[in-house]
Amino acid sequence: MSVGPCSLAPRRGAELVVPVFLVVAAVAAPPLVGCGSSGGDTVGTQPVGNVVVHDENNYSAQSSLTIPVVETAPGADLQICWSAVSTDLLCHPADPVDNVAFLKIPNMSQDQVEARLTTGQLGESQVALYRELHTSGLTSSCAMLSALAFGSALVPASDYVESSTIQYLLLFTRGTTLGVGAQSMIFIKPTASSANVQVEAPDACASKILHFQATLGVAPVPIPTAGPWKLDWTLVTRDAFANSVSKLKLDKVELGFYEGMTADDLQSHFLDVEIIASSLYRAAVPAGQKYVDLATAKDSGGAAFPGFTQTGGTWAVAVLCSTCSVPAPVIFTILQPGS
Protein backbone atom coordinates (compact mmCIF):
# COMPACT_ATOMS: atom_id res chain seq x y z
CA MET A 1 0.00 0.00 0.00
CA SER A 2 2.84 2.33 -0.77
CA VAL A 3 1.90 5.97 -0.89
CA GLY A 4 5.25 7.30 -1.80
CA PRO A 5 5.69 10.11 -4.30
CA CYS A 6 6.80 9.78 -7.84
CA SER A 7 10.07 10.97 -9.19
CA LEU A 8 9.24 14.09 -11.04
CA ALA A 9 11.04 13.00 -14.14
CA PRO A 10 9.69 12.39 -17.62
CA ARG A 11 9.18 8.96 -19.09
CA ARG A 12 11.05 8.27 -22.30
CA GLY A 13 8.80 8.46 -25.33
CA ALA A 14 5.88 9.78 -23.30
CA GLU A 15 4.48 13.02 -22.01
CA LEU A 16 6.41 14.42 -19.10
CA VAL A 17 4.19 13.79 -16.13
CA VAL A 18 5.38 15.12 -12.82
CA PRO A 19 2.71 14.85 -10.21
CA VAL A 20 3.74 14.29 -6.68
CA PHE A 21 1.04 12.50 -5.04
CA LEU A 22 1.67 14.24 -3.31
CA VAL A 23 2.63 14.54 -3.86
CA VAL A 24 0.77 12.43 -2.39
CA ALA A 25 -1.76 14.57 -2.55
CA ALA A 26 0.25 15.75 -2.52
CA VAL A 27 1.03 12.81 -2.66
CA ALA A 28 0.50 12.65 -2.05
CA ALA A 29 -1.48 14.31 -2.81
CA PRO A 30 0.35 11.91 -5.37
CA PRO A 31 -3.67 13.87 -8.29
CA LEU A 32 -2.86 11.11 -10.55
CA VAL A 33 -3.17 13.05 -13.79
CA GLY A 34 -1.61 11.23 -16.72
CA CYS A 35 -0.59 8.11 -14.83
CA GLY A 36 -0.75 4.62 -16.23
CA SER A 37 -3.12 5.22 -19.09
CA SER A 38 -4.73 2.11 -20.48
CA GLY A 39 -7.18 2.26 -23.34
CA GLY A 40 -8.82 -1.01 -22.28
CA ASP A 41 -9.69 0.15 -18.77
CA THR A 42 -12.99 1.98 -18.91
CA VAL A 43 -15.71 3.06 -16.52
CA GLY A 44 -19.40 2.29 -16.99
CA THR A 45 -19.77 -1.51 -16.96
CA GLN A 46 -21.64 -3.41 -14.26
CA PRO A 47 -19.85 -5.00 -11.29
CA VAL A 48 -19.23 -8.74 -11.45
CA GLY A 49 -17.87 -9.14 -7.93
CA ASN A 50 -19.91 -9.54 -4.77
CA VAL A 51 -17.86 -7.01 -2.75
CA VAL A 52 -18.47 -3.70 -4.50
CA VAL A 53 -16.54 -0.51 -3.71
CA HIS A 54 -18.19 2.86 -4.40
CA ASP A 55 -16.75 6.38 -4.47
CA GLU A 56 -18.03 7.05 -0.97
CA ASN A 57 -15.95 4.13 0.32
CA ASN A 58 -12.73 5.55 -1.12
CA TYR A 59 -10.39 7.85 0.77
CA SER A 60 -9.67 11.46 -0.10
CA ALA A 61 -6.42 13.35 0.36
CA GLN A 62 -4.93 16.80 0.47
CA SER A 63 -1.27 17.65 0.23
CA SER A 64 1.24 20.29 -0.65
CA LEU A 65 4.96 20.70 -1.24
CA THR A 66 7.36 23.18 0.31
CA ILE A 67 10.58 22.68 -1.62
CA PRO A 68 13.79 24.16 -0.16
CA VAL A 69 15.69 26.77 -2.18
CA VAL A 70 19.44 27.36 -2.36
CA GLU A 71 21.03 30.33 -4.13
CA THR A 72 24.14 29.70 -6.19
CA ALA A 73 26.45 31.45 -8.60
CA PRO A 74 24.80 31.68 -12.06
CA GLY A 75 26.34 29.72 -14.91
CA ALA A 76 28.59 27.82 -12.50
CA ASP A 77 29.37 24.13 -12.74
CA LEU A 78 27.90 23.32 -9.33
CA GLN A 79 28.96 20.41 -7.20
CA ILE A 80 25.83 18.49 -6.21
CA CYS A 81 25.90 16.12 -3.23
CA TRP A 82 23.22 13.84 -1.82
CA SER A 83 24.74 12.10 1.21
CA ALA A 84 22.37 13.96 3.55
CA VAL A 85 19.27 12.20 2.14
CA SER A 86 18.61 9.77 4.98
CA THR A 87 14.81 9.94 4.92
CA ASP A 88 12.45 10.33 1.98
CA LEU A 89 9.39 12.48 1.41
CA LEU A 90 7.27 10.12 3.52
CA CYS A 91 9.76 10.25 6.41
CA HIS A 92 10.72 6.64 5.77
CA PRO A 93 14.38 5.55 5.59
CA ALA A 94 15.67 6.59 2.18
CA ASP A 95 17.02 4.13 -0.35
CA PRO A 96 20.31 4.93 -2.08
CA VAL A 97 19.98 7.78 -4.58
CA ASP A 98 20.22 6.15 -7.99
CA ASN A 99 19.49 9.18 -10.15
CA VAL A 100 19.90 12.96 -10.02
CA ALA A 101 17.65 14.94 -12.37
CA PHE A 102 17.63 18.60 -13.45
CA LEU A 103 14.48 20.36 -14.70
CA LYS A 104 14.46 23.86 -16.21
CA ILE A 105 10.95 25.29 -15.99
CA PRO A 106 10.25 28.70 -17.58
CA ASN A 107 7.38 31.13 -17.06
CA MET A 108 6.46 29.98 -13.55
CA SER A 109 7.08 31.01 -9.97
CA GLN A 110 8.30 28.48 -7.41
CA ASP A 111 4.82 28.43 -5.88
CA GLN A 112 3.33 27.61 -9.28
CA VAL A 113 5.81 24.78 -9.84
CA GLU A 114 4.99 23.31 -6.42
CA ALA A 115 1.28 23.57 -7.12
CA ARG A 116 1.57 21.91 -10.51
CA LEU A 117 3.75 19.11 -9.13
CA THR A 118 1.22 18.54 -6.38
CA THR A 119 -1.71 18.31 -8.76
CA GLY A 120 0.07 16.49 -11.56
CA GLN A 121 -0.27 19.36 -14.01
CA LEU A 122 3.36 19.90 -15.03
CA GLY A 123 3.46 18.84 -18.66
CA GLU A 124 6.31 18.21 -21.07
CA SER A 125 5.63 21.48 -22.86
CA GLN A 126 6.30 23.35 -19.61
CA VAL A 127 9.74 21.84 -19.01
CA ALA A 128 12.30 23.48 -21.26
CA LEU A 129 15.21 21.22 -20.35
CA TYR A 130 15.67 17.85 -18.64
CA ARG A 131 19.02 16.26 -17.76
CA GLU A 132 19.94 13.35 -15.45
CA LEU A 133 22.80 11.37 -13.97
CA HIS A 134 22.67 7.71 -12.96
CA THR A 135 24.84 7.32 -9.88
CA SER A 136 25.81 3.68 -10.39
CA GLY A 137 29.58 3.37 -10.58
CA LEU A 138 30.31 6.71 -8.93
CA THR A 139 32.91 6.59 -6.18
CA SER A 140 31.32 9.40 -4.15
CA SER A 141 27.90 10.88 -3.41
CA CYS A 142 28.73 14.07 -5.29
CA ALA A 143 28.83 15.02 -8.97
CA MET A 144 29.23 18.13 -11.09
CA LEU A 145 26.21 19.73 -12.74
CA SER A 146 27.88 19.34 -16.13
CA ALA A 147 27.86 15.54 -15.65
CA LEU A 148 24.09 15.45 -16.11
CA ALA A 149 22.92 14.57 -19.62
CA PHE A 150 19.93 13.36 -21.59
CA GLY A 151 20.91 13.05 -25.21
CA SER A 152 23.35 15.90 -24.69
CA ALA A 153 25.20 17.18 -21.65
CA LEU A 154 24.04 20.06 -19.48
CA VAL A 155 26.00 23.27 -20.17
CA PRO A 156 25.85 25.44 -17.03
CA ALA A 157 26.97 28.62 -18.80
CA SER A 158 23.89 28.55 -21.05
CA ASP A 159 21.48 26.16 -19.34
CA TYR A 160 21.70 27.59 -15.82
CA VAL A 161 21.39 31.36 -15.97
CA GLU A 162 19.83 33.96 -13.68
CA SER A 163 16.24 34.75 -14.56
CA SER A 164 13.15 35.99 -12.75
CA THR A 165 10.91 33.79 -14.89
CA ILE A 166 12.76 30.45 -14.84
CA GLN A 167 12.84 27.85 -12.06
CA TYR A 168 15.48 25.13 -11.74
CA LEU A 169 14.63 21.94 -9.86
CA LEU A 170 16.86 19.04 -8.80
CA LEU A 171 15.31 15.65 -8.03
CA PHE A 172 16.97 12.78 -6.18
CA THR A 173 15.35 9.44 -6.92
CA ARG A 174 15.51 5.75 -6.12
CA GLY A 175 15.88 3.62 -9.23
CA THR A 176 16.51 4.94 -12.71
CA THR A 177 13.07 4.46 -14.22
CA LEU A 178 11.87 7.81 -15.45
CA GLY A 179 8.72 8.88 -13.66
CA VAL A 180 9.28 6.85 -10.52
CA GLY A 181 10.95 7.21 -7.14
CA ALA A 182 11.48 10.82 -5.99
CA GLN A 183 12.98 10.86 -2.49
CA SER A 184 14.06 14.49 -2.18
CA MET A 185 14.13 17.70 -4.21
CA ILE A 186 15.45 21.24 -4.13
CA PHE A 187 15.15 24.44 -6.13
CA ILE A 188 18.49 25.89 -7.17
CA LYS A 189 18.46 29.61 -7.89
CA PRO A 190 21.25 31.29 -9.89
CA THR A 191 21.84 34.67 -8.23
CA ALA A 192 24.42 37.25 -9.29
CA SER A 193 25.27 38.15 -5.70
CA SER A 194 26.01 34.53 -4.75
CA ALA A 195 29.39 32.83 -4.99
CA ASN A 196 28.04 29.49 -3.77
CA VAL A 197 28.91 26.54 -6.02
CA GLN A 198 27.87 23.73 -3.65
CA VAL A 199 24.39 22.16 -3.45
CA GLU A 200 23.45 19.64 -0.76
CA ALA A 201 20.31 17.61 -1.34
CA PRO A 202 18.01 18.12 1.66
CA ASP A 203 16.88 15.34 3.93
CA ALA A 204 13.22 15.31 2.94
CA CYS A 205 11.71 14.57 6.33
CA ALA A 206 13.87 17.03 8.26
CA SER A 207 13.06 19.68 5.66
CA LYS A 208 9.31 18.92 5.85
CA ILE A 209 8.95 19.02 2.09
CA LEU A 210 5.71 17.06 1.94
CA HIS A 211 2.55 17.98 3.81
CA PHE A 212 -0.21 15.37 3.59
CA GLN A 213 -3.57 14.53 5.11
CA ALA A 214 -5.79 11.57 4.26
CA THR A 215 -9.47 11.21 5.08
CA LEU A 216 -10.93 7.72 4.93
CA GLY A 217 -14.26 7.01 3.24
CA VAL A 218 -17.53 7.59 5.04
CA ALA A 219 -18.38 3.90 5.24
CA PRO A 220 -16.52 0.57 5.31
CA VAL A 221 -17.22 -2.06 2.66
CA PRO A 222 -19.03 -5.18 3.93
CA ILE A 223 -17.40 -8.48 2.98
CA PRO A 224 -18.57 -12.00 3.91
CA THR A 225 -16.27 -13.68 6.41
CA ALA A 226 -16.68 -17.07 4.75
CA GLY A 227 -16.41 -15.77 1.19
CA PRO A 228 -16.61 -15.33 -1.68
CA TRP A 229 -14.23 -12.35 -1.62
CA LYS A 230 -14.42 -11.00 -5.16
CA LEU A 231 -13.53 -7.32 -4.68
CA ASP A 232 -14.94 -5.11 -7.46
CA TRP A 233 -14.22 -1.38 -8.06
CA THR A 234 -16.13 -0.95 -11.33
CA LEU A 235 -18.26 1.82 -9.82
CA VAL A 236 -15.33 3.87 -8.52
CA THR A 237 -14.98 6.92 -10.78
CA ARG A 238 -12.41 9.08 -9.01
CA ASP A 239 -9.20 8.76 -7.04
CA ALA A 240 -8.32 10.39 -3.72
CA PHE A 241 -7.74 13.71 -5.44
CA ALA A 242 -11.02 13.70 -7.39
CA ASN A 243 -9.32 12.82 -10.67
CA SER A 244 -10.96 10.38 -13.07
CA VAL A 245 -9.72 6.78 -12.87
CA SER A 246 -11.13 5.83 -16.28
CA LYS A 247 -7.72 5.58 -17.94
CA LEU A 248 -5.72 4.13 -15.09
CA LYS A 249 -4.37 0.61 -15.32
CA LEU A 250 -5.04 -0.74 -11.84
CA ASP A 251 -2.95 -3.88 -11.58
CA LYS A 252 -2.32 -4.68 -7.92
CA VAL A 253 -4.36 -5.16 -4.76
CA GLU A 254 -2.97 -5.17 -1.24
CA LEU A 255 -4.99 -6.51 1.70
CA GLY A 256 -3.81 -5.67 5.21
CA PHE A 257 -4.76 -6.44 8.79
CA TYR A 258 -3.84 -3.96 11.51
CA GLU A 259 -3.92 -5.61 14.90
CA GLY A 260 -5.15 -3.40 17.73
CA MET A 261 -5.73 -0.46 15.39
CA THR A 262 -8.87 1.42 14.37
CA ALA A 263 -9.75 3.16 11.13
CA ASP A 264 -8.86 6.45 12.82
CA ASP A 265 -5.41 5.04 13.58
CA LEU A 266 -4.90 4.20 9.90
CA GLN A 267 -6.04 7.65 8.88
CA SER A 268 -3.55 9.24 11.28
CA HIS A 269 -0.70 7.02 10.05
CA PHE A 270 -1.70 6.76 6.41
CA LEU A 271 1.78 7.24 5.00
CA ASP A 272 2.85 4.15 6.92
CA VAL A 273 -0.07 1.83 6.12
CA GLU A 274 2.14 -0.66 4.33
CA ILE A 275 4.85 -0.92 6.95
CA ILE A 276 2.58 -1.01 10.01
CA ALA A 277 0.36 -3.85 8.78
CA SER A 278 0.39 -6.92 11.02
CA SER A 279 -0.35 -9.07 7.96
CA LEU A 280 -0.18 -8.05 4.30
CA TYR A 281 -1.35 -9.98 1.25
CA ARG A 282 -0.96 -9.03 -2.42
CA ALA A 283 -2.80 -10.06 -5.56
CA ALA A 284 -2.20 -9.18 -9.20
CA VAL A 285 -5.11 -7.86 -11.25
CA PRO A 286 -5.48 -9.44 -14.70
CA ALA A 287 -5.26 -6.89 -17.50
CA GLY A 288 -8.53 -5.08 -18.13
CA GLN A 289 -10.28 -6.36 -15.02
CA LYS A 290 -11.88 -4.16 -12.41
CA TYR A 291 -12.09 -6.89 -9.81
CA VAL A 292 -9.93 -9.48 -8.11
CA ASP A 293 -10.62 -12.53 -5.97
CA LEU A 294 -8.89 -11.92 -2.64
CA ALA A 295 -8.55 -15.71 -2.29
CA THR A 296 -5.65 -15.41 -4.76
CA ALA A 297 -3.74 -12.99 -2.51
CA LYS A 298 -0.51 -14.16 -0.91
CA ASP A 299 1.90 -12.81 1.67
CA SER A 300 5.59 -12.10 1.04
CA GLY A 301 6.45 -15.71 1.82
CA GLY A 302 3.96 -17.11 -0.68
CA ALA A 303 1.36 -18.20 1.86
CA ALA A 304 -2.23 -17.84 0.66
CA PHE A 305 -4.66 -15.50 2.34
CA PRO A 306 -6.40 -17.71 4.96
CA GLY A 307 -9.53 -15.61 5.24
CA PHE A 308 -10.67 -13.10 7.81
CA THR A 309 -9.55 -15.18 10.74
CA GLN A 310 -7.84 -12.36 12.62
CA THR A 311 -9.91 -10.15 14.88
CA GLY A 312 -9.19 -7.35 17.32
CA GLY A 313 -8.08 -4.90 14.68
CA THR A 314 -8.92 -3.42 11.27
CA TRP A 315 -8.90 -4.88 7.76
CA ALA A 316 -8.19 -2.54 4.83
CA VAL A 317 -7.62 -2.96 1.11
CA ALA A 318 -5.78 -0.84 -1.45
CA VAL A 319 -5.96 -0.93 -5.25
CA LEU A 320 -2.86 0.41 -6.96
CA CYS A 321 -1.36 1.25 -10.34
CA SER A 322 2.24 0.01 -10.42
CA THR A 323 3.03 1.80 -13.70
CA CYS A 324 1.76 5.18 -12.59
CA SER A 325 4.25 7.88 -11.72
CA VAL A 326 2.30 8.36 -8.49
CA PRO A 327 2.43 5.15 -6.42
CA ALA A 328 -0.26 6.21 -3.96
CA PRO A 329 -3.27 3.90 -3.75
CA VAL A 330 -5.91 4.85 -6.26
CA ILE A 331 -8.44 3.20 -3.95
CA PHE A 332 -8.13 2.62 -0.20
CA THR A 333 -11.00 1.47 1.92
CA ILE A 334 -11.79 -0.22 5.22
CA LEU A 335 -13.35 -3.70 5.02
CA GLN A 336 -16.01 -4.93 7.43
CA PRO A 337 -16.03 -8.74 7.58
CA GLY A 338 -19.39 -10.23 8.52
CA SER A 339 -21.82 -13.00 7.78
Query: For residue range 283-297, what is the model confidence (pLDDT) as tens digits?
Result: 999 998 999 999 999
Coil, strand, or helix at residue 114?
Answer: helix
* Nearest C-alpha neighbor of 222 from the set 72, 29, 16, 53: 53
d(CA 119, CA 103) in angstroms, rounded, equals 17
4-36 as b/e: b if 16+ CB within 10 A: bbbbbbbbeeeebbbbbbbbbbbbbbbbbbbbb
Return the pLDDT at 118. 77
Query: Which residues of the chain form CATH 2.60.40?
Result: 63-212
Return the pLDDT at 14. 32
Using one digit for the tens of pLDDT, what is the confidence trace for 67-116?
Answer: 999 999 999 999 999 999 999 988 889 999 999 999 999 999 999 999 88
Return the pLDDT at 115. 86
| CATH topology (fold) of 63-212 | Immunoglobulin-like (2.60.40)
Query: What is the C-alpha R_g of the chain?
Result: 21
Return the pLDDT at 1. 59
In the chain, which stretches have pLDDT less than 70? 1-44, 119-121, 178-180, 324-327, 339
* Nearest C-alpha neighbor of 159 from the set 81, 74, 82, 69: 74
Coil, strand, or helix at residue 270?
Answer: helix
* 0.85 surpassed by pTM: no
Return the pLDDT at 12. 35
Return the pLDDT at 13. 32
Q: From residue 184, how far is each of 25, 110, 135, 204, 249 by CA, in Å?
A: 16, 16, 15, 5, 27
Counting Cβ atoms within 10 Å, is residue 306 exposed (0-12), middle (13-18) or buried (19+)?
A: exposed
Return the pLDDT at 41. 40
Return the pLDDT at 181. 78
